[in-house]
A and B are shown apart, each in its own frame.
Chain A
Amino acid sequence: MNEPRALLILNNLSKTYGSNRVLDNFDLTIFDGEFFTLLGPSGCGKTTVLRMIAGLEDTDTGNIQLENHDIGQVPAEKRPINTVFQSYALFPHMTVFDNVAFGLRMSGVAKEEIAPRVTEALEMVRLGEFAERKPAQLSGGQQQRVAIARAVVNRPKLLLLDESLSALDYKLRQQMQIELKRLQRKLGITFVYVTHDQEEALSMSDRVVVMNKGKVQQLGTPREIYEQPANLFVAKFIGEINQLVGEIVEIDGNHEYEVKVEGLQWRLHAEHNFKVGDKVNVLLRPEDVRVEYIDDPHPDQYLVGEVIERNYKGKTLDSLIRLPSGIEVIASEFFDEDDPSFDYSLNQKVAIKWVPGWEVVLPHEV
Chain B
Amino acid sequence: MRSSFGSFRFWAIGLASVWLTLFVFFPNLLVIFTSLLTRDPQATVSLPVNVDSYVRTLDVLYLQVLWDSLRMSLLAMVFCLLIGYPFAMAIVSLPKRWQPVILFLVILPFWTNSLVRTYAIQFILGNQGIINKSLIGLGLIDKPLQLLYTQFAVILGLCYILLPFMVLPLYSALEKLDIRLHHAAKDLGAGPLSRFWYITVPLTSPGIVAGCLMVLLPAMGMFYISDLLGGAKNLLLGNVIKTQFLHTRDWPFGSAFSVILIVLLGFMLWLYFRASRFVSKQGGLNGSDF
Cβ–Cβ < 8 Å partners of A94 in chain B: 283, 285
Q: Is B199 touching A91 in the complex (CB atoms < 8 A)? A: yes
Question: Which of A55, A92, A102 gathers most chain B CB within 10 Å?
Answer: A102
Docked complex Cα distance between A151 and B194 (Å): 18
Contact with A along B194-227 (1 / 0, CB 8 A): 1000110011000000000000000000000000
- The total of interchain contacts (Cβ-Cβ below 8 angstroms) comes to 75
Q: Mask for A79-105, Cβ within 8 A of B = 1, else 0?
A: 001110101011111110110011101
B178 touches A89 (CB 8 A): yes
Q: In angstroms, how far is the closest chain A Cβ from the Cβ of B209? A: 14
Contact B188 A82 (CB under 8 A): yes
* Most chain A beta-carbon contacts within 10 A, residue among B181, B186, B189, B194: B189
Contact (Cβ within 8 A) B189 A97: no
- Given A89-B180, A89-B183, A89-B184: A154 touches B287 (CB 8 Å cut-off): no
Partner of B183, one of A56, A75, A98: A56
Q: Which residues of B contact A81 (CB under 8 A)?
A: 187
Give the CA-CA distance A91 to B186 in the complex, in Å: 12
- Interface size of B by CB at 8 A reads 24
Contacts of B190 in A (CB 8 A): 77, 102, 106
For A90, list chain B residues within 8 Å (CB): 184
In the bound assembly, the distance between CA atoms of A75 and B192 in angstroms comes to 11
Q: Is A107 an interface residue (CB 8 A)?
A: yes
Residue A261 lies at the interface, judged by CB distance under 8 Å to chain B: no
Say yes or no: A93-B285 contact (C-beta < 8 A), given A56-B183, A87-B180. Answer: yes
A76 with B187: CB separation less than 8 A: yes
Also in contact, A93 and B194, with CB within 8 A (given A56-B183, A103-B189): no
- The CA of A93 and the CA of B198, in the complex, are separated in Å by 10
* Bound: A158/B285 CA distance, A: 29
CB-contact partner of A89 in B181, B279, B283, B284, under 8 A: B181
With both beta carbons as reference points, the residue of chain B lying nearest to A101 in the complex is identified as B287
How far does the alpha carbon of A56 sit from the alpha carbon of B186 in the complex, in Å? 8
A97→B287 contact, CB < 8 A: yes
A103 touches B186 (CB 8 A): no
